[in-house]
Amino acid sequence: MFPQEAEIVVIGGGVVGSAVAYFLARAGKNVVLVEKGGRGGEASAANAAFVWSITRKAGIDIRLAMHSFDIHQQLQVELEMDFEYVRGGGLMIIEDKTQLPFVETHLQKRAKDGYPLEMIDADRVLELEPRLARERVYGAVYSPIDGFTNPIFLVLALNLEAQKLGAQLLHYTEVLDIGVTDGKVKSVITDKGTIKTQTVVNAAGSWGGFIGDMVGIQVPVSPFQLAMLVTEQLPPTLSHAIMGASYMVEEDTGKDEGLGGGLIMSQQAAGNLLIGASWRKTGYDRRTIQEEIELMARVNVRAMPMLKTVRIIRSYANFFPNTPDDLPILGRVDGVEGFIMACGHCGHGVGMGPGSGKLIQELICDGKTTIPLDEVNLSRFR
């Protein structure tokens, strides 16, 4: 039955909204999650599946990531469904000498902040991942705590548990507007009916700006398309989450406006390799194009020549909910009582989403959070 009223309405059923809804339900709140699509959300069901800290910057970024790592482990114990979270270790491959200055600066900043990383040489990289091409590896940054998950199972596991705890999940239900009177949230208007509420969480990922418009605020989140390939199932082939350092260099130098690509690889529990990635600005267009499929295949075959004879069974693309400073937007919004932001997780929402869900629950239930959210409040853009 369509709910007439809720203590809290969460907009968006990706990893972030699902984590918010789960933690609120666990805290005994009457929560309704509204998602315009099916289970899994958008980017949360179509990504590279890394739970990754290596490229997270010193400061609030790495603190949020580390907190979320703990939450992933906690969820592994709490949730009934296995979401295939493996801390197999992460390798950021330094592909050539030109990437070294960027990597070294990053390592220095992280060490200064108390989150050091280890640099390893090519021989050690090849010991860890013998199928990589020797000539493509100059060295790597290694993190034993990084790894990957099955993000679709993660969302499903959070949803099932939230429902058991009494949360109501409305899929294929679109939020059309938010009722605000005297600067206070009063209702959420959907295409299936109106829900009275005083608290709304904007967990709409790349669509977070449209939800902001509904209450008259500007939310600087924009979609940035990234594509991936899925191979046929293979016997154990890779044990680490692997990313090329080009991602970090791109982040530092500003992402190319055209078609770009960099190395990403991991192996899911079912044996399929997720390989990628390519990026381009497409607005909200999810289609993949031949050029990006070829680019991803080329980049990955170069890095791991055995892939040449492996079949690709699928390609997909979705959007990073991008923010200008590569950090999420979390917390209350000045001037709109009852409106809470939980979007803009950029390329790190699978890793950071569960942690954000817990922090938003703390904010709503206790009025304070384990990690202060001032630095990631929307007000930083004003």
Which chain residues interact with ligand FAD by CB under 6 A? 11-17, 34-37, 41-44, 46-50, 52, 174-175, 203-207, 226, 228, 277, 318-321, 343, 345-351, 353
**Least distance in Å: CB of 211 to ligand FAD?**
6
Order of all β-strands in the sheet with 184-190? 175-181, 184-190, 193-196
Check: CB of residue 83 under 8 Å from CB of residue 19. no
Q: Which is nearer to ligand FAD, 338 or 347 (CB)?
A: 347
Q: Which is nearer to ligand FAD, 18 or 100 (CB)?
A: 18
Query: Shortest Cβ distance from residue 121 to ligand FAD (Å)?
Result: 26
Q: How far is the CB of 123 from ligand FAD (least distance, A)?
A: 27
The Cα–Cα gap between 364 and 182 comes to 21
Q: Shortest Cβ distance from residue 279 to ligand FAD (Å)?
A: 8
The smaller minimum CB distance to ligand FAD, of residues 44 and 159, is found at 44
C-alpha span between 129 and 192 (Å, rounded)? 51
Smallest distance from the beta carbon of 258 to ligand FAD, in angstroms? 17
SS3 38: coil
The residue among 226 and 303 lying less far from ligand FAD, judged by its C-beta, is 226
Task: Give how far Cα 350 sits from Cα of 14, 50, 338, Å.
Answer: 9, 7, 26
CB nearer to ligand FAD: give 3 or 126. 3
Rg of the chain over all Cα atoms, to the nearest angstrom? 20
Take residue 20 and report the two structure tokens written for it. 């918010």
Q: From the CB of 82, what's the least distance to ligand FAD, in Å?
A: 19
Alpha helices in the chain (DSSP H): 15-26, 60-78, 100-112, 122-128, 151-164, 208-214, 246-253, 290-303, 349-366
Best CA proximity match to 337, nearest among 355, 358, 364? 364
d(CA 319, CA 124): 34
Decide whether 305 or 323 has the Cβ nearer to ligand FAD. 323
- How, if at all, do strands 168-170 and 31-34 pair? parallel
Report the nearest approach of ligand FAD to the CB of residue 338 (Å).
17
Token readout for 228 is 């991936």
Structure tokens at 102: 């960027």
Least CB distance from residue 215 to ligand FAD, whole Å? Answer: 13
Which lies closer to ligand FAD via its Cβ, residue 135 or residue 340?
Answer: 340
Q: Which is nearer to ligand FAD, 21 or 364 (CB)?
A: 21
Q: Is 134 exposed, middle or buried (0-12, 13-18, 19+ CB in 10 A)?
A: exposed
